[in-house]
Amino acid sequence: DAGVIQSPRHEVTEMGQEVTLRCKPISGHNSLFWYRQTMMRGLELLIYFNNNVPIDDSGMPEDRFSAKMPNASFSTLKIQPSEPRDSAVYFCASKLIGDEQYFGPGTRLTVT
């Protein structure tokens, strides 16, 4: 299996631009998680889905952030407009009910 796939691996954008991060979970997995990692705040859960339905989005920082999972094999995390404080590594993870979470390699976002 290819594991969790995230794209792009690196993204540099200017403040105010829209950013879309993509995640392809492991085939057959029915839960998907978006995390953000920064030096100041560590690893934070932003949102997670079960069977494509958002279950808990309490970690989403503000309305500039949105996440979708239109089908079982694809999810996006969008930031509009982006700000320098959004610079971080964003991880996607997927799992089967009762199993462990498998993490993707992450997307390093830099907002200038």
Partner 1 sequence: AQSVTQPDIHITVSEGASLELRCNYSYGATPYLFWYVQSPGQGLQLLLKYFSGDTLVQGIKGFEAEFKRSQSSFNLRKPSVHWSDAAEYFCAVARSNDYKLSFGAGTTVTVRA
E-state strands within the chain: 5-7, 10-13, 19-24, 31-38, 42-50, 53-56, 65-71, 74-79, 88-95, 102-103, 107-111
In the complex, minimum distance from the CB of residue 32 to partner 1, in angstroms, rounded to a whole number: 12
Q: Show the binding pattern over residues 50-89: x = contacts partner 1 (CB under 8 A), - = does not.
A: ------x---------------------------------
Residues that bind partner 1 (CB under 8 A): 4, 31, 33, 42-43, 45, 48, 56, 91, 93, 95, 97-101, 103-106
